[in-house]
Structure 1
């Protein structure tokens, strides 16, 4: 029988990965700023179209402001990540996220051992290490 198991993916920080992560963070920030500008443009257009409906305008402004704030918060988090990235030492492990893998299960297998966490460690885009037996990660 096969089951699906979560696997933690980590990345070893190198100069190349630091540069790549910085570029990704800056690109995401740029995209968020473009989205904010687009939201402001659409808001002004909708307000002009509905200049006689004050209640609708108020609701529209609140909705747009929530979306703008959400994007500004994401941008602020990216700014913090950029700062942290500069402070991290080379060789540090950064959590990339989780993936799912298929695990073969047979009668008689030790369930606790089977469910212990697995980690895949990446270095410059290459699988550097596969660790078995860590803590399960939810």
Structure 2
């Protein structure tokens, strides 16, 4: 048990114009971790729709992420756990599904800028804002 799960927002800074956050994201990514297929889908959506990255560059970006991180599937267990987490902790459904994937992957840390820094889920998963430590 243990390990780190990375939220979508952190990885998207690698493709952003914010050099300071991109550098921090790169440092976190360099330490490895786990993501879910949901994270890959969210990245692809933002790269194509908001950043307007080409399909070719989007595939290269996603290939890089998949090569560096462990990817967990989204399953019915993820869905059921996510619903429970959303109801209990008041997280959005999509954030709760990220939390659920982290719990099912037996991670003890979820690196996210968007969720409540320091929140502990089910007495075993702590949310950490990687930009709040500077």
TM-score after normalising by structure 1: 0.24
Instruction: Identify the structure with the greater strand proportion.
Output: 1
Bigger radius of gyration, 1 or 2? 1
- Structure having greater relative contact order (Cα 8 Å, sep ≥ 6): 1
